[in-house]
Amino acid sequence: MLTPAENALLTQTNAGTPMGEVFRRFWVPAMLPSELPRADSDPVRLRLLGEDLVAFRDTTGAIGVIQNNCPHRGASLFFGRNEEQGLRCVYHGWKFDVDGKCVDMPNEPAESDFRQKVKATAYPAKEWGGLIWVYMGPKEREPSLPQYPWCLVPNADHTPVAKWMQESNYTQGLEGNLDTSHINFLHRAFDRPINTRLSNSAPMKLIVLQTAFGFVYGAKRQALEDGRYHWRLTTFAYPTFTAIPGPKLGGCFFVIPRDDETSWWFMIRPLVNQNGVPEPDLSARDPYKLLQYGRQVFDPSLTHEPGSWRLARNGGNDYLIDRDMQRRINYTGLPTNRVQDAAVTESMGKVYDRTQEHLGAADTAIIQMRRHLMHLAEALQRGEEPDLAAHPEWFRQAPLEVVSLEEDMPTLWEQHHAAFLHEFAASGASTDAANARA
Ligand code: FES
Ligand SMILES: [Fe+2]
């Protein structure tokens, strides 16, 4: 349970809020490169951390992310004309480059230096690991790009990534990603045996270990007959990245605030496995199948607003729940994990009132995540910058699923982490961030 003040601290991320400042110390994923497919392609609306922005790609292919409202008199630059090295407001013709500099002001006298005095808010944006990242913090603190392992492999640009919008505060989705115990309920299909790997019928111990990048959350299940334990270690990196163990690094998710009531989701299938070995790119075969992302779940033609990234099944249509399916087929009457997760976490309300909740032992990782994020926000208010932002190499990590005789979580993690880093370096993955495309 949180107090009203803690709930506000955790959930509010607009400019000037303590948690908003935390997000503004990191590069955050914001778009897919395919949304800006080529030089001078159409401008795209982008709402991020409560700010209305417009993204475009200039004539050289560089990405600009600038304020939505034209600095002259506020017309939306979404309607702008993307021409030779800049975006021109169609109202009176002011033109801005990717850095927000006003490069033309045709309705003012030629001798006027007014143009020099006007600047649009613009944020740096880069392509990296199959995503477009944006940094919205102080210029002098701009960090290097985070060295998530999948961003460093030779085929990083082809990393399969799915994106969608969820209609609730970022914390609700994030908490679902850190919550093992829902899997055999929410995601249960009656014709599938209970997943004994994840089953709550086996006594389970949850252990949380603080790390340089955030924390690792380990679930240890009872010893098998031969005395070994079944371990699942999920990693969490600030501000909101979770990597859930499974084949091919399992599920890697970012949940990024769009504003306080909606969030952007990015689901990534890294082209590197939990042992640090790069994997081939199979996305060309069928990226949606690869992401188990069926037509019924997300189909741009079914969304209410094109480009909104709203799930076709959403709160407005009760996710098209099928009560007969719920009786006979699965718990929810909803297809796929994505819809099931969205339905329950959105149904809490846009910003859940955490003064009303009752947390149990199964919620340990959620409690830790909140504490860590709130500590980060409070420390930043005192002027203590997050160390992680200055250490992009600390993002190199991977979750783990293993059956092992090891009883001690810190030992298991350290061995896995060291072996992962060693193998990853030996595999020939790039070791610097120089290949980021600005
Ligand atoms: S409002 Fe954009 S140029 Fe006037
Ligand atoms: Fe889930």
Name the closest-CA residue to atom 4, ligand 1.
92
Predicted pLDDT of residue 335: 87
| Count of residues making up the chain | 438
Q: Answer whether 73 contacts ligand 1 (Cβ < 6 A).
A: yes
Find out whether the beta carbon of 327 lies less than 6 Å from any atom of ligand 1. no
- For the entire predicted model, the pTM comes to 0.93
* 335 and 403 assigned to the same domain: yes
| Model confidence pLDDT, tens digit, residues 13-36 | 999 999 999 999 999 999 999 899
Q: What is the pLDDT of residue 438?
A: 47
Pick from 127, 159, 174: which residue ends a domain? 127
| Cα(313)–Cα(319) distance, integer angstroms | 4
Domain boundary (70, 95, 127) is at 127
431 is a domain residue: no
Quick one: 119 and 193 in the same domain? Answer: no
Kindly state whether residues 154 and 63 are assigned to the same domain: no
Distance from the alpha carbon of residue 202 to the mean position of ligand 1, in angstroms: 64
In this structure, is residue 140 part of a structural domain?
Answer: no
- Proximal ligand: closest to the CA of 178: 2
> In this structure, are 89 and 164 located in the same domain?
no
Q: Tell how far the Cα of 322 is from the centroid of ligand 1, in angstroms.
A: 50
CA–CA separation, 349 and 223 (whole Å) = 40
Residue 413 has, within 13 A of its CA and on its CB side, a CA count of: 21
Backbone angles phi, psi at 287, to 5 degrees: -60, -35
Q: What is the mean pLDDT of residues 353-374?
A: 94
Q: Report the separation in Å between the CA atom of 70 and the middle of ligand 1, taken as the mean of its atom positions.
A: 6
Residue 171 lies in a domain: yes
Which residue range(s) make up the domain with 47? 33-127
* Peptide bond connecting 270 to the previous residue in cis, omega within 30 degrees of 0: no
Q: Is residue 8 included in any domain, yes or no?
A: no
Angle, alpha carbons 127-130-132 (nearest 5°) = 35
Last residue of a domain, one of 97, 127, 157: 127
Tell me if 20 is assigned to some domain: no
Which tokens in the block code for residue 278? 């790069």
Give the number of domains in the chain: 2
Average pLDDT, integer, range 371-393: 97
Q: Are residues 111 and 172 in the same domain?
A: no
Ligand 1 centre to CA of 93 (Å) is: 6
In a domain, 437, yes or no: no
Same domain, yes or no: 170 and 61: no
Spatial contact of 179 and 362, defined as CB atoms under 8 Å apart: yes
Which amino acid is residue 20, in one-letter code? Answer: G
Indicate the range of 77-86, 130-139, 193-202 predicted with least confidence: 193-202
pLDDT digit string (tens) for 227-285? 899 899 999 999 999 998 876 555 799 999 999 999 999 988 888 888 888 887 765 55
Q: Could you tell me whether strands 95-96 and 102-104 are parallel, antiparallel, or unpaired per DSSP bridges?
A: antiparallel
Angle ∠(187,188,191) on CA atoms, nearest 5: 140
Question: Which ligand has the minimum distance to the alpha carbon of residue 69?
Answer: 1
Confirm whether 220 is domain-assigned: yes
Inform me whether the pLDDT recorded for 317 exceeds 70. Answer: yes
Atom of ligand 1 nearest to the CA of 94: 3
Q: How far is the CA of 87 from the centre of ligand 1 (A)?
A: 12
Higher-confidence position of 354 and 201? 354
d(Cα 326, Cα 334) in Å, to the nearest integer? 8
Are residues 330 and 190 located together in one domain of the fold? yes
105 and 155 share one domain = no
Atom of ligand 1 nearest to the CA of 70: 2
Instruction: Identify residues whose C-beta is under 5 A from ligand 2, the ion.
Output: 341
Q: Are residues 380 and 288 in the same domain?
A: yes
Task: Give the CA angle between residues 289, 291, 292 to the nearest 5°.
Answer: 60
Residues 68 and 205 in one domain: no
Q: 197 pLDDT band (50/70/90 cuts)?
A: low
Tell me if 109 is assigned to some domain: yes
Identify whether residues 63 and 182 lie together within a single domain: no
Q: What CATH number does residue 76 fall under?
A: 2.102.10.10
Ligand 1 atom closest to Cα of 75?
1
Same domain, 163 and 122: no
